[in-house]
Amino acid sequence: MAGQAYYTSAPPSSDAPHGGFRFTAASPTARPALDVLRPSTGYARPPGPDRHRDYPVAFSYDRPDDDTAVLTRTRFTGRDYTGRWGNHFCHALYATPGELTGLRPVELWDTPHWVQAPPHDDGPDLPDITQLVPGSAIGPDRVIRSLASGGAPGLRLLERLLTATLRALAGEGPGATLVSADPDRVVDWIAAVSYTLPVGLAARLTFTTYTARPEDDHRHLTGTGPKTAERAPGPVFHLDRLTGDGCPESVPVARFLADALAGGRLDVLDAVAELWDAGPADGVEGGVRRLRTGCALLAPDGDTAAFGGAGAPLVSFVRAVVELRPEAAGLAPERLTDAAARHLADGTAPLGDVRAALAPLPEPYRSAALVGLIAALEASAELRTAALDARACASLVSLADEAPDVLAAAPGTALHVLRLAPGEPRPTALRILRLYRQGLWEETETYEALRDLVRAEEPARAPRLRWRRGPAREGE
């Protein structure tokens, strides 16, 4: 059950001998947690002398620890019981992450659980909430329409906002500030970020739709008005004019997710979420790493080398795939083949211990990843030179001994690998030559070079081989 509590400036009561800001009501689950709720109950009104305007509602989500979720909706109410100007009413919800299962916190923006105004006096204990129910205002369709209205500038801003958000989630940078004269617009952009993320990762995204003190806020996303935007210490996104100050350039994972949401391709986001869910529960930083790897596996183009981080070696990519448990997510092996090929094609780091990296992957994913690596190497002589040292070649030969067709299908790579790999004899080379003899490949130059390599290093065996091209006769 989720707990709930009311907080406002109220007169003294039998349980509270001193008047002022305090909790005036709480449910059984929330009452022991009032000290946890209290830091989220404040409200600073916008600067300026105008007392007749409507002040923005502050809807906030916090994670005080891994086992606690706090949601608050705070409204400025004007004068308190003494006539003093500056009162507000906060309705707080106290839940465990399990009670948010299947929900993105932003979807509770207009949940029917919220009470709009405080009672006139202290009342009886509030009831606990059996099930948190999302409101009707926030949903993917509304977010997609909002993005469409912003055109290309809006999409680019979302890409940069996602980049900043993922960095903040991973502990790699400060939170972002969202600036708008319309608080509802801030809600829409928090929702846009939330819908690009798997539900479990969105549940770790803390935010507030409004504060007049962005410099003091600790959340991943902080909403504020134009008059207080200059106080924000981190990247600032001006939603009314779709521009940013100090915003990072977008990274591939952000572009992939933003494009999927803007294009209404929710099936792509669902596929990313399935991969993410298949991985281990390894905290927020691990969750961001899994998200990057999942996007790298599913992206249709070649812009994926940076998904795992700048300069990340291919071995790190493969290890991240292992963590994703692609077999549990039902990932098609060919997806892994394509992703591995793209990832290597844009990087020149040495392969390192390929065998150790691939060993934990179950079949058919291990072979699929190997095929993708070989395909990238086969397409680029420069890449072969940069990525394949003697150790990597030895690992590939050892792996190919288990599946010779993998190297046999890439004659240029096979020749490069077998020239550099130490050790004798060359069983892989002999198997490849036999496949050539069966007429499966037509590259005479590569065939002859490979044949000469085997002859030079195994002179005792060479005479016993018939080096005739074409189908073998029966008995050969």
pLDDT digits (tens, 9 = 90+) for 127-168: 999 999 999 999 999 999 999 999 999 999 999 999 999 999
Instruction: Answer yes or no: is pLDDT of 476 > 80.
Output: no
CA-to-CA distance for 161 and 273, rounded, in angstroms? 20
The C-alpha angle 175, 181, 184, rounded to 5 degrees, equals 75
Q: Residue 378: which region, alpha, beta or left (left: phi > 0; alpha: psi -120 to 50)?
A: alpha
CA-to-CA distance for 67 and 55, rounded, in angstroms? 32
Instruction: Answer yes or no: is pLDDT of 233 > 50.
Output: yes
Instruction: Answer yes or no: is pLDDT of 419 > 80.
Output: no
Q: What is the DSSP string of 8-66?
A: EEE---SS-SS-EEEEEEE-TTTGGGHHHHGGG----PPSSS--SSPPPPEEEEEEEET
Instruction: Answer yes or no: is pLDDT of 86 > 70.
Output: yes
pLDDT over 70 for what percent of the chain? 79
Which amino acid is it at 462? Answer: A
User: Lowest-confidence range among 133-137, 156-160, 267-271, 378-382?
Assistant: 378-382
Shortest CA distance to 278 belongs to which of 267, 268, 293? 293
Cβ–Cβ under 8 Å, residues 344 and 386? no
Instruction: Answer yes or no: is pLDDT of 347 > 60.
Output: no
pLDDT digits (tens, 9 = 90+) for 23-63: 999 999 999 999 999 999 999 888 877 766 789 999 999 99
Which amino acid is it at 400? Answer: A
Confidence of residue 450 (pLDDT cuts 50, 70, 90): low
Averaged confidence pLDDT in the chain = 83
Shortest CA distance to 261 belongs to which of 142, 140, 371? 140
Report long-range pairs for 145-150 (Cβ below 8 Å, ≥24 apart): 146/188, 146/192, 147/192, 147/261, 147/262, 148/262, 150/242
Sign of torsion over alpha carbons 338, 342, 343, 345: positive
CA-to-CA distance for 346 and 354, rounded, in angstroms? 18
Cβ–Cβ under 8 Å, residues 397 and 358? no
pLDDT value of residue 22: 92
Which architecture, in CATH terms, is 140-252?
A: 3-Layer(aba) Sandwich (3.40)
Q: Taking the domains of the chain in order of start, what are their residue ranges?
A: 3-108, 140-252, 395-476
